Amino acid sequence: MTLEGIGKQLDPDLDVFGEAQPYFISILKKRYSPQRLGNELIRGVEQLSRAGYDVPLQAREVLEDLRLGRLVVKTADPGLPIAADRLGRRLFSGLVISSSIVGGALVVPHQLVTGAILFGVAGTLLVLHVLRDRRRARKAEQ
């Protein structure tokens, strides 16, 4: 653009792009000549054939390292800590609630009030756990 502006100031009839066109066409012919494209294609095929030869050897080495324990594959799951926490809370609540139910069932024939209290504790814990789990699930969605 600058060259064209200066050229127009010096010679208003100058066509910079018209003057440079033969050079651009020459560069494009060299860059995209069939001979050059063919050479690049041959180089690409050679590299692909080398890769086809090397991949089975490399795969064998990787599998051997895995088998011997020299290679460890680790994956990251961003939802894992939340899921593990939720599972732990569910297991704990389930154990407490089931022990209250079993205790209540065992005590009812001898002490009706204590058995009823244990059943009430189990029901209350179940309702509280479900409500708290739903609240945490809604917070996680937001």
Q: What pLDDT was estimated at residue 57?
A: 86
Please name which of 119, 97, 13 lies closest in space to residue 4, comparing C-alpha atoms: 13
Question: What span, in angstroms and rounded, lies between the C-alpha atoms of 88 and 90?
Answer: 5
Percent of the chain with pLDDT over 70: 98
pLDDT of residue 20: 81
Cβ atoms within 10 A of the Cβ of 28, count?
10
Average pLDDT of the segment spanning 74-92: 88
Predicted pLDDT at 31: 85
Helix axes 2-10, 16-31, angle to 10 degrees: 140
115 within 8 A of 105, measured Cβ to Cβ = yes
Q: Cα(48)–Cα(40) distance, rounded to whole angstroms?
A: 12
State the pLDDT at residue 98: 92
The whole-model pTM stands at 0.44
Spell out the domain ranges in the chain: 2-68, 80-137
